[in-house]
Amino acid sequence: MRLYLMTWVVFALTAVHEITAMTIVYPEMLESRAEDGLKMVKISDDITLTLRSSSIFSEEFFIHSTRDGVPIAYHMSGPETEKNLYHDEERMATVHLSDEDGLNIEGVLGDTLRIKPAEGMERSLDGQVPHTLYEVHYSDEEGDPRHDYGVPKPNATDVTPESRLIFNMGLRIPVLIHPEVYVVVDYTICHAMKFKIKKIARYVAIMFNSANLRYRSMVQPRVQLTVVGIKVTNTASEEPYMVQVEGHAATRNILYGPTIDKFKDYVAQQSYFVSCDIIWLLTGKNMSRWEDKKLIGNSGGFAFVAGVCTKWKVGMTEERYGSYYGVFVLAHEIAHSLGCVHDGAKANAWPAGHIGSADCSYDDGYMMSYKYISPNMYRFSLCCQREVLNIYNRPQYDCLIKRIP
């Protein structure tokens, strides 16, 4: 595949501030229908979920890990792994629900509300399992638009990329695009989950299914992410791409610009990443950058614009285990990888034929802005949808057409 040399593009998003407003609730099942999988669950007097079965994994996938330093691969069944995954599209909720030993629910209930079983608490007199309902609050600090874009620096000796060539094929209107994503979960997050394979897979499922609820707003083309693999990081030595900030080990700061560059090189050396459309690093580190000799830590995510299918098909987002605060950032950043810039932004010089989003207002508060205006904050603008269709129709991006068997 022939491409220009491209410098990195930064997308800085807000970081989580704190978790507060915890309440104990006792969810109860109001209705469960075997024929269509629908479940109605009362979380509290104010919240009732209408849940339907979700799917985020491919039919079969591998979880790569290590045992005593030796690589090991677990062959997983997608339907089995996600059998307890549900969503309520109206409430933008994704939960893992199990009723084998009482009703246990964990996951995302909209933008900032979360739920999980309350460890160490006794059940109610009628046997209901206590759960913690809690709010995740974000920093008021917005990402700095000055750091949204690096400048591509084409090398005169590079061959013209395929996307710059004139081609006569007609516009393809896909029924549904399934970008296939391989998720690398870093040591910090895996350690927080005690390296339990199923628990890590469940967390990834909730994160990416929550992102998919936002992608349901795309109409032309329709887009739904598919997770085709997970890397569980068992030791810090397995992530040589992490660029630590000297003197900031206690706060887990990394420099995300150099980190993503090294991660891209790492990905190129692993055979199991070759056929994936996007490889995503989910990190529990604090993504940071130096600016005027100050360490700035308000960056929640990074991606290369239109990096999907190319050697720049990598991206990363922050996540604090248990908060799921990275859901918005995850959906936003993957849209960058699929070609979208921020609403209101002009076209990029790379890839050739990039349209941009100058005719969509940043202030409307869709997914590709930082305005967080409901309900637009759960939706993608028409400009972003147009760009994804544009990328899909370029021969350089034919990985979006092909599926992993």
Nearest CA to 280 among 352, 347, 223, 230?
230
Q: Which residues does the annotation place in the binding site for Zn(2+)?
A: 332, 336, 342
Which of 24-44 are b and which e, b meaning 16 or more Cβ less than 10 Å from the residue's Cβ? ebbbeeeeeeeeeeebebbbe
Which among 82, 238, 333, 387 is annotated as catalytic?
333
Separation between Cα atoms, residue 79 and residue 70, nearest integer Å:
28
Q: Which residues fall within 8 angstroms of residue 96, CB to CB, at 6 or more apart?
A: 84, 85, 86, 105, 106, 107, 202, 205, 206
Active-site annotation holds for 35 = no
Question: Three-state SS for 265?
Answer: helix
223: DSSP letter: B
Q: Per the annotation, where are the binding residues? A: 332, 336, 342
At position 40, the amino acid (one-letter code) is: M
Structure tokens at 335: 């849209």
3-state secondary structure of 155: coil
Contact (CB, 8 A) for 328 and 376: no
The count of C-alpha atoms lying within 13 angstroms of the C-alpha of 276, restricted to the half-sphere facing its C-beta, is 26
Distance, CA of 110 to CA of 24 (rounded, Å): 18
DSSP state, 316? Answer: E
What Rg, from alpha-carbon coordinates, does the chain have? 21
Angle in degrees, CA 304, 55, 223, rounded to 5: 40
Catalytic residue numbers?
Answer: 333
